[in-house]
Structure 1
């Protein structure tokens, strides 16, 4: 072995020694039981939290209601943050009193307490319900750890715990917004202080994911697929099969509305399951879409006869509202896809679908105009037709 090879081996062994004998913390991503704190911090229990690759080590002293803990997590990037907190009033993020660790402008790991009054109101300061002591944080091997002692109210047997990770810190002093993926939204559960267990809300989480998927599928099928096809039927099919087009059009749009109402109902259910989580623009577009679609359904019952003097105004109303629903529906489908993020292939598939029906619409538009122009009598043609038997009549003369 040459001198170069010997030097490489020495450097490698030194590096491994430093990693394995970190003075603060050694870890394994597989389980919390393999994580050791070498700064004389020992805990009776540890739990692998079900989301975001997070872990909690803890000891609860029932005599003085003191919870000593170490929360271990990997921030989304090295300049991100981690958080652990207790929600005294609910099971979600809103209302949580949390400890958040991050790197400040001096590149030092700090941990501060925050009150999460809402998704738009995160207030730094001392916690109201709990007294926290011995807070410190560290960063090692791409993982952050929060150490703390929390004084709990007397006779508490379980806690609603919430945890989270983020990717950015604003001006080195304030945690930026985290992702809204299912993993982030479901990072909550109960900490059973008597049994030493962390219990997840698995049934609730499965129900939310199921309802999100149902909500998305119903609305894509309704406003994103059936409604545009129904408009194309009304505009182009009447030229070829009249009056069959009318019944096909009505069937398509009423089906779209029924499916859309079902999707709207699942959206309301999702809102009740995830209080505090609000997608403002998606919600506002959805409300406007539902109102316009309801007006469009009423148009079916208000439809005057062709020779009625108000038929012109009804046509303006019907066509205007219809195209409004079309535009809002497509926009809100894309907003929903951004929220669900089901995979790039689904968004691409919907874009391809829109491109195909758009191309078909252009072709049918051209064909329709050709047929209409051919049927239109020329300016020099002063012959009249009775429209029933096609018999030619001479124009009346004075």
Structure 2
């Protein structure tokens, strides 16, 4: 890189985009000179465009001879330049760009990464956004269908866990290939994965129904599951923002979340009405089963007969 020129773009702390040419005279920070370089820019002003976590640099070069195929070094840093002083890059890669090609370079590896990122999002939404919430709904609102609810809940959650593992594996591959710096998305993903593994272990270590620890296990299992679903949904949103997902992704996931919330509200209302009906029937049954403590009106007539008979028997 020493002796070359570079176009550098960034977003400052105020959210404004900047782009400037630098001459890389040496490897020291003082030898990287801003506003200098050997790239022959034309009269069109360079520009910076952003799309989520992606940043694009646009500039035009003027030349009388075609460049043909040229190597280009791409590098990025997570630190914003201070007073046009560049920091050391976090990662870099190189490509061969054919300037004589109208359609631009064909990079199968780049297309593969884009497809892998898309698959990461799809598998995550299906697993965490659909399958696992349905399994939780079955466990809460189908308890009266014992043991059907238990088998359904177990099968659905194990399928969801398989999708979770697929999401994590795709995420690891993306990180190894792209080195994307998304600490919040990655950290929450690891936390949710740990909660999921603990849920699977809890399934195999659950105590018997008559155990004194069963209520504590039920409390832990239900609330840790809810926590995992909450952070998973939050992580899906963070992932879409980091990837610069389009409106179709956001609308689709929002529609899915809305359907699940509406279903939960309807089922919760029906469950409440059913519990209220059972309580009213139970109270009515108790009122009907209590004997009337009042004496009959003809008690004196009934009681006179045995009294006279006893008196006559004594004569």
TM-score range, shorter chain: 0.5 to 0.7
Work out which of the residue numbers 244, 266, 269 in structure 1 matches 2:173: 269
Q: Runs of 5+ in structure 2 lacking a partner?
A: 11-18, 47-58, 63-69, 99-103, 290-315
Q: The residue matched to 1:238 in structure 2 has which SS?
A: coil
Q: The residue matched to 2:156 in structure 1 has which SS?
A: helix
User: Residue 100 of structure 1 corresponds to which residue in structure 2?
Assistant: 8
User: Residue 190 of structure 1 corresponds to which residue in structure 2?
Assistant: 96
User: Residue 299 of structure 2 corresponds to which residue in structure 1?
Assistant: none
Deviations 1:280-334 (A, max 9, x none): 1110110001000010111110111221110011011101210011101110111
Q: Does 2:172 align with 1:285?
A: no
Q: Does 2:120 align with 1:215?
A: yes
Q: Does 2:252 align with 1:349?
A: yes
Relative to 1, partners in 2 of residues 1:112 and 1:344: Cα closer, same or farther, differing over 3 Å? same
Relative to 1, partners in 2 of residues 1:259 and 1:186: Cα closer, same or farther, differing over 3 Å? farther
TM-score (norm. length: structure 1): 0.53
Conservation of the 8 A alpha-carbon contact between 1:160 and 1:191: yes
Conservation of the 8 A alpha-carbon contact between 1:101 and 1:146: no
Conservation of the 8 A alpha-carbon contact between 1:98 and 1:113: yes
User: Residue 264 of structure 2 corresponds to which residue in structure 1?
Assistant: 361
Relative to 1, partners in 2 of residues 1:283 and 1:290: Cα closer, same or farther, differing over 3 Å? same
Conservation of the 8 A alpha-carbon contact between 1:113 and 1:125: no
Deviations 1:69-120 (A, max 9, x none): xxxxxxxxxxxxxxxxx59xxxxxxxx9945389xxxxxx9632479x9xxx
| Inter-partner Cα distance in structure 1 for 2:166 and 2:157 | 14
Work out which of the residue numbers 287, 291, 312 in structure 1 matches 2:215: 312
Q: Does 2:227 align with 1:324?
A: yes
User: Residue 275 of structure 2 corresponds to which residue in structure 1?
Assistant: 372
Conservation of the 8 A alpha-carbon contact between 2:44 and 2:60: no
Deviations 1:313-371 (A, max 9, x none): 10111012100111011101111111233420221121122112211111111111222
Superposition map of 1:87-166 within 5 A: 98-100=6-8, 111-113=21-23, 124-126=29-31, 135=38, 138=41, 140-143=43-46, 144=59, 159=71, 161-162=73-74
Work out which of the residue numbers 232, 235, 240 in structure 1 matches 2:137: 232
TM-score (norm. length: structure 2): 0.66
Work out which of the residue numbers 319, 330, 336 in structure 1 matches 2:239: 336
Conservation of the 8 A alpha-carbon contact between 2:5 and 2:39: no
Structure holding more helix per residue: 2
Q: The residue matched to 1:308 in structure 2 has which SS?
A: coil
Q: Which has the higher contact order (CA 8 A, sep 6+)?
A: 2
State the Cα RMSD in Å.
4.2
- Measure how far apart 1:160 and its partner are: 5.3
Conservation of the 8 A alpha-carbon contact between 2:41 and 2:60: yes
Larger radius of gyration: 2
| Inter-partner Cα distance in structure 1 for 2:177 and 2:39 | 34
Conservation of the 8 A alpha-carbon contact between 1:304 and 1:314: yes
Structure holding more strand per residue: 1
Relative to 1, partners in 2 of residues 1:141 and 1:112: Cα closer, same or farther, differing over 3 Å? closer
Aligned residues: 249
